[in-house]
Amino acid sequence: MHQRARNWFTGLTLMLAAGAAQAWPDKPVTMVVPFPPGGATDSVARAVANKLGEQLKQSFVVENKAGATGTIGASQVARAAPDGYTLMVTSLAPLVVAPHLMKGLSYDPAKDFTYLTVAVQTPNVLVVSPKLAPSINSIQDVLALLKSKPGEISFATSGSGSSDHLTAELFWQKTGTKGLHIPYKGGAPAISDLLGSQVDMSFQNVNAVLPHIQSGKLKAIAITGNKRSPVLPNVPTLAELNVPGVEVYAWQGIVAPKNLPADIRDKLSAALATAIKDPAVSKPFTDVGLEVVANSPEVFTKFQQDESKRWKNVIETGNITVQ
């Protein structure tokens, strides 16, 4: 009898789990964006949410929960029930950077999330201001200038710990140079001052500065990808220019709270891949330099671990702190 009872209980558990996966989603799903509206992460979330809604016949609602480099929204998602009704669409910051810059976080990225997919990524591009453009035509010119004025050439970034900031730090570490970090509160003011030559250089996401490069207002020197960008085919990679080890991508990924049931995870992962690869979603992004990834939960989990280790090393080597 005991064995029969165990078999019955196991069967019932499996039936309930299967029923949960079939029923999901039977109510609106919240997609938390831990940043203000209008940025790249918010745009990705809204495009994916709309397509998921069409596919799964349910509402996917984007909720912006900004603050503290994305960690406020990340904390909220980490505490949410693992039932598939709370997701987070985020940049790399809360998952692989903030834990090494900020003390006392209420979540552990390695333990408190179910990693679903990296939606899109983009390399950064090294651009120089209009004032410097006439005299800077190559990476050799950039390195010569940095070495002639160590710590004086200013690099604008969208903030301490941002992708563009850490890329600059990694570049300095790999080339034995040092620039002057000028953090801004977001990419828009950093780019504005770069256009006005108040600052000298910047590593910016390709999509953020593509129009200014195409118009000739900013000069692109090199990109940080492992291959050339389709939207900037004439701009070489740093690796091509004999500056290896600075292959960097900014990315937007989608996660859920830890312990998301495997069947819901698999159903959600498949739906996300279909949504992200749909031309209605992907083409507006690829047109401005974003690259579609849509990888698996397993690949994303390993990627998060590798990225976290890498940026931890860069932060510790550069003695970087939040400003």
For residue 130, pLDDT beyond 70: yes
| End residue of a domain, out of 208, 223, 238 | 223
If asked whether residues 96 and 156 sit together in one domain, one would say no
If asked whether residues 6 and 117 sit together in one domain, one would say yes
What CATH number is given to the structural domain containing 255?
3.40.190.150
Percent of the residues in the chain that have a pLDDT greater than 90, as a whole number: 84
Residue-level pLDDT at 15: 52
Q: 122-159 b/e with 16+ CB inside 10 Å = b? A: bbbbbbbbeebbeebeebeebbebbeeeeeebbbbbbb
If asked whether residues 175 and 258 sit together in one domain, one would say no
Torsion sign (Cα): 91, 274, 51, 32? negative
For residue 161, pLDDT beyond 90: no
- Is 278 inside any structural domain? yes
Residue-level pLDDT at 172: 98
For residue 203, pLDDT beyond 80: yes
If asked whether residues 87 and 192 sit together in one domain, one would say no
Mean pLDDT score, 291-307:
98
For residue 10, pLDDT beyond 70: no
If asked whether residues 7 and 110 sit together in one domain, one would say yes
For residue 33, pLDDT beyond 50: yes
Q: What is the tally of structural domains in the chain?
A: 2
If asked whether residues 12 and 102 sit together in one domain, one would say yes
If asked whether residues 107 and 206 sit together in one domain, one would say no
- pLDDT band of residue 67 (cuts 50, 70, 90) is confident
Residue-level pLDDT at 17: 47
DSSP designation for 70: G
Residue-level pLDDT at 9: 59
For residue 229, pLDDT beyond 50: yes
- Is 294 inside any structural domain? yes
If asked whether residues 262 and 219 sit together in one domain, one would say no
If asked whether residues 264 and 194 sit together in one domain, one would say no
For residue 53, pLDDT beyond 90: yes
Mean pLDDT score, 275-297:
97
- Is 176 inside any structural domain? yes
For residue 323, pLDDT beyond 60: no
Q: Over the stretch 174-185, which tens digit does the pLDDT of each residue have? A: 999 999 999 988
Amino acid sitting at position 305:
Q
- Is 228 inside any structural domain? no
If asked whether residues 20 and 82 sit together in one domain, one would say yes
Mean pLDDT score, 230-255:
97
- Is 323 inside any structural domain? no
- Is 234 inside any structural domain? no
Cβ–Cβ < 8 Å for 55, 268 = no
For residue 154, pLDDT beyond 90: yes
Mean pLDDT score, 24-29:
96
For residue 38, pLDDT beyond 90: no
If asked whether residues 135 and 192 sit together in one domain, one would say yes
Q: Residue 263 sits in which domain range?
A: 2-121+251-317
What CATH number is given to the structural domain containing 183?
3.40.190.10
- Is 229 inside any structural domain? no
Cβ–Cβ < 8 Å for 40, 252 = yes
